[in-house]
Amino acid sequence: MAKEGIKTIVQNRKARHDYFILETLEAGIELMGTEVKSLRLGRANLQDSYATIKNGEVFVNGLHISPYDMGNRFNHDPLRSRRLLLHRYEINKLIGHTQKQGLTIIPLSLYFKRGMVKVELAVARGKKLYDKRSDIAKKDAVREIDRRMKDFSRQ
Protein backbone atom coordinates (compact mmCIF):
# COMPACT_ATOMS: atom_id res chain seq x y z
CA MET A 1 0.00 0.00 0.00
CA ALA A 2 2.30 2.74 -1.22
CA LYS A 3 -0.54 4.95 -2.39
CA GLU A 4 -0.84 8.66 -1.65
CA GLY A 5 -2.36 9.39 1.78
CA ILE A 6 -2.27 5.79 3.00
CA LYS A 7 -0.13 4.84 6.01
CA THR A 8 0.14 1.12 6.71
CA ILE A 9 -0.10 0.19 10.39
CA VAL A 10 0.40 -3.57 10.26
CA GLN A 11 0.26 -6.40 7.71
CA ASN A 12 -0.58 -10.08 8.05
CA ARG A 13 2.55 -11.44 6.39
CA LYS A 14 1.71 -15.12 6.90
CA ALA A 15 -1.68 -14.76 5.21
CA ARG A 16 -0.29 -14.96 1.67
CA HIS A 17 1.84 -17.93 2.72
CA ASP A 18 -1.01 -19.85 4.35
CA TYR A 19 -3.90 -18.94 2.01
CA PHE A 20 -4.80 -18.52 -1.66
CA ILE A 21 -6.23 -14.98 -1.86
CA LEU A 22 -9.31 -15.03 -4.11
CA GLU A 23 -10.74 -11.54 -3.58
CA THR A 24 -9.99 -8.47 -1.47
CA LEU A 25 -12.08 -5.56 -0.23
CA GLU A 26 -11.71 -2.56 2.06
CA ALA A 27 -13.74 -2.13 5.23
CA GLY A 28 -13.94 0.41 8.02
CA ILE A 29 -13.62 -0.75 11.61
CA GLU A 30 -15.45 0.37 14.74
CA LEU A 31 -12.85 1.34 17.37
CA MET A 32 -12.64 3.04 20.75
CA GLY A 33 -10.52 6.17 21.24
CA THR A 34 -7.65 4.47 23.02
CA GLU A 35 -7.50 1.81 20.28
CA VAL A 36 -6.94 4.48 17.63
CA LYS A 37 -4.19 6.07 19.74
CA SER A 38 -2.53 2.69 20.14
CA LEU A 39 -2.78 2.06 16.38
CA ARG A 40 -1.12 5.41 15.68
CA LEU A 41 1.84 4.03 17.65
CA GLY A 42 1.75 0.87 15.48
CA ARG A 43 0.80 -1.50 18.28
CA ALA A 44 -1.32 -4.15 16.60
CA ASN A 45 -1.00 -7.79 15.55
CA LEU A 46 -3.04 -9.47 12.81
CA GLN A 47 -1.66 -12.99 13.15
CA ASP A 48 -4.33 -15.64 13.76
CA SER A 49 -7.12 -13.11 13.15
CA TYR A 50 -10.20 -13.90 11.09
CA ALA A 51 -13.62 -12.44 10.35
CA THR A 52 -17.03 -13.94 11.14
CA ILE A 53 -20.56 -13.00 10.21
CA LYS A 54 -23.18 -12.82 12.99
CA ASN A 55 -26.71 -11.49 12.57
CA GLY A 56 -25.89 -9.79 9.28
CA GLU A 57 -22.83 -7.99 10.71
CA VAL A 58 -19.16 -8.77 10.13
CA PHE A 59 -16.79 -8.97 13.12
CA VAL A 60 -13.04 -9.41 13.20
CA ASN A 61 -11.77 -11.77 15.92
CA GLY A 62 -8.24 -12.33 17.16
CA LEU A 63 -7.04 -8.84 16.19
CA HIS A 64 -4.73 -7.77 19.01
CA ILE A 65 -4.50 -4.02 19.66
CA SER A 66 -2.26 -3.35 22.66
CA PRO A 67 -3.66 -1.14 25.43
CA TYR A 68 -2.68 2.52 25.19
CA ASP A 69 -0.05 3.44 27.81
CA MET A 70 -1.79 6.65 28.89
CA GLY A 71 -5.30 5.19 28.73
CA ASN A 72 -5.74 4.26 32.42
CA ARG A 73 -9.37 3.25 33.09
CA PHE A 74 -10.48 4.01 29.50
CA ASN A 75 -8.38 1.21 28.04
CA HIS A 76 -9.98 -1.60 26.07
CA ASP A 77 -9.74 -5.38 25.99
CA PRO A 78 -6.88 -6.12 23.52
CA LEU A 79 -8.60 -9.13 21.90
CA ARG A 80 -12.24 -8.02 21.82
CA SER A 81 -14.35 -8.59 18.69
CA ARG A 82 -14.56 -5.46 16.56
CA ARG A 83 -17.36 -4.72 14.12
CA LEU A 84 -16.43 -4.03 10.51
CA LEU A 85 -18.28 -1.34 8.59
CA LEU A 86 -19.46 -2.66 5.23
CA HIS A 87 -22.35 -2.01 2.86
CA ARG A 88 -25.20 -4.53 2.84
CA TYR A 89 -24.31 -5.82 -0.66
CA GLU A 90 -20.69 -6.42 0.46
CA ILE A 91 -21.90 -8.38 3.50
CA ASN A 92 -24.22 -10.46 1.30
CA LYS A 93 -21.32 -11.16 -1.05
CA LEU A 94 -19.17 -12.31 1.90
CA ILE A 95 -22.00 -14.53 3.17
CA GLY A 96 -22.15 -16.17 -0.26
CA HIS A 97 -18.40 -16.76 -0.27
CA THR A 98 -18.25 -18.22 3.24
CA GLN A 99 -21.04 -20.68 2.51
CA LYS A 100 -18.77 -22.25 -0.11
CA GLN A 101 -16.69 -25.04 1.37
CA GLY A 102 -13.18 -24.13 2.49
CA LEU A 103 -13.40 -20.34 2.12
CA THR A 104 -12.70 -17.97 4.99
CA ILE A 105 -12.39 -14.23 5.53
CA ILE A 106 -9.07 -12.95 6.85
CA PRO A 107 -7.69 -9.44 7.39
CA LEU A 108 -4.56 -8.74 5.33
CA SER A 109 -3.63 -5.31 6.65
CA LEU A 110 -4.65 -2.34 8.80
CA TYR A 111 -3.96 1.17 7.53
CA PHE A 112 -4.95 4.82 7.86
CA LYS A 113 -6.73 6.35 4.90
CA ARG A 114 -7.67 10.04 5.21
CA GLY A 115 -7.46 9.76 9.02
CA MET A 116 -9.72 6.69 9.25
CA VAL A 117 -8.58 3.17 10.11
CA LYS A 118 -9.33 0.70 7.33
CA VAL A 119 -8.99 -3.08 7.12
CA GLU A 120 -8.09 -4.90 3.93
CA LEU A 121 -10.13 -8.12 4.00
CA ALA A 122 -9.53 -11.15 1.81
CA VAL A 123 -11.73 -14.06 0.86
CA ALA A 124 -9.25 -16.93 0.96
CA ARG A 125 -8.88 -20.69 0.69
CA GLY A 126 -6.36 -22.43 2.95
CA LYS A 127 -3.25 -23.91 1.36
CA LYS A 128 -2.26 -27.50 1.89
CA LEU A 129 1.30 -28.35 2.93
CA TYR A 130 2.29 -29.39 -0.61
CA ASP A 131 1.02 -26.05 -1.97
CA LYS A 132 3.24 -24.20 0.48
CA ARG A 133 6.22 -26.35 -0.49
CA SER A 134 5.68 -25.75 -4.20
CA ASP A 135 5.47 -21.97 -3.62
CA ILE A 136 8.75 -22.06 -1.73
CA ALA A 137 10.36 -24.13 -4.52
CA LYS A 138 9.16 -21.61 -7.15
CA LYS A 139 10.55 -18.66 -5.16
CA ASP A 140 13.88 -20.46 -4.75
CA ALA A 141 14.03 -21.20 -8.50
CA VAL A 142 13.32 -17.57 -9.42
CA ARG A 143 15.91 -16.37 -6.92
CA GLU A 144 18.51 -18.79 -8.36
CA ILE A 145 17.75 -17.68 -11.94
CA ASP A 146 18.10 -14.02 -10.94
CA ARG A 147 21.38 -14.76 -9.20
CA ARG A 148 22.77 -16.57 -12.26
CA MET A 149 21.61 -13.80 -14.61
CA LYS A 150 23.30 -11.20 -12.41
CA ASP A 151 26.56 -13.22 -12.37
CA PHE A 152 26.35 -13.72 -16.14
CA SER A 153 25.85 -10.00 -16.81
CA ARG A 154 28.94 -9.13 -14.73
CA GLN A 155 31.21 -11.17 -17.01
pLDDT confidence of residue 78: 85
Residues 6+ apart with CB under 8 A from 14: 47
**pLDDT tens, residue order, the chain (155 aa):** 456 778 888 998 888 888 889 999 999 999 988 888 889 988 899 988 999 999 989 999 999 998 888 877 778 788 889 999 999 999 999 998 888 777 899 999 999 999 899 999 999 988 888 777 888 888 888 898 888 888 887 76
Q: What is the pTM of this model?
A: 0.78
pLDDT, position 139: 87
Half-sphere exposure of 22 (CA within 13 A, CB side): 15
Q: Per this entry, what is the length of the chain?
A: 155
Which pLDDT score is estimated for 2? 54
Give the DSSP per-residue string, the chain.
---TTEEEEEE-TTHHHHEEEEEEEEEEE---HHHHHHHHTT-EE-TT-EEEEETTEEEEES-EEPPPTT-GGG---TT--EEEE--HHHHHHHHHHHHSTTEEEEEEEEEEETTEEEEEEEEEEEPPHHHHHHHHHHHHHHHHHHHHHHHHHH-
pLDDT at 77: 84
Domains along the sequence of the chain with CATH? 6-127 (2.40.280.10)
